Amino acid sequence: MDNGASSYRRFLGGDREALVEIIRDYQQGLTLYLAGITGDLSAAEDLMEDTFVKLAADRPRFSEKHTFKTWLYTIGRHLAIDYLRRHRRDASLEEDQGELESLEAAYLRQEERIEVHRALSKLNPEYRQALHLSYFEDMSNEQVAAVMKKTKRQVENLLHRGRLSLKTQLEKEGYFHEGS
């Protein structure tokens, strides 16, 4: 279960301390994300505050279709788009939208990498080594076998078991890739 989601449910139930937890857990990342969209740290800080004010005042419904973090960042993104519309009247909205989607995609890829590395660190060392050499160092199975002093078949088994173990670890940590 997403900790942000449980904190938000507690806040909706009347626990004001839960909102403080949400702000503490998400303010830094949200600010950096919004700064990437606006190109202005000061505006990003204001938009981050506006996002949390919106949570507190409007109490929008969280459907759990996505993770809490994705939902929260989407609210912030919409506020940033409104900000850009007001402050960049000379730029076309289509250019801004394409730029925002590009920045958002880059940010999400970075978040995915962080989650994968965090989960990898918890795997069996041989799985971790085989996966790293194969995916991050772009080595063939034969090259991985040579580095690890294993047969090609052993490496294939390590990679298969490592991917399954990584998927299980990511799911255990609450990370679900939209493609899975």
Percent of the chain scoring above 70 in pLDDT? 88
Greater confidence (100 vs 69) lies with 69
Percent of the chain scoring above 90 in pLDDT? 22
Residues belonging to the chain: 180
Rounded distance, CA 178 to CA 65, Å? 11
Answering whether pTM is above 0.85, one says no
Whether domain 121-180 has CATH 3.40.710.10: no
- State the DSSP string of 15-37: -HHHHHHHHHHHHHHHHHHHHHH
- Report pLDDT for 67: 84
Residues in Cβ contact with 50 at an 8 Å cutoff, skipping those fewer than 6 apart = 79
Q: pLDDT tens, 85-116?
A: 887 664 555 565 666 777 777 777 777 777 77
Whether domain 1-108 has CATH 3.40.50.1010: no
Domains of the chain, residue spans:
1-108, 121-180
Greater confidence (11 vs 160) lies with 160
Rounded distance, CA 39 to CA 43, Å? 8
Q: What angle do CA 89, 95, 101 make, to 5 degrees?
A: 120
| Residue 30: alpha-carbon gap to chain centroid | 11
Q: pLDDT tens, 14-28?
A: 988 988 999 999 999
Q: What average pLDDT does the structure give for the chain?
A: 83
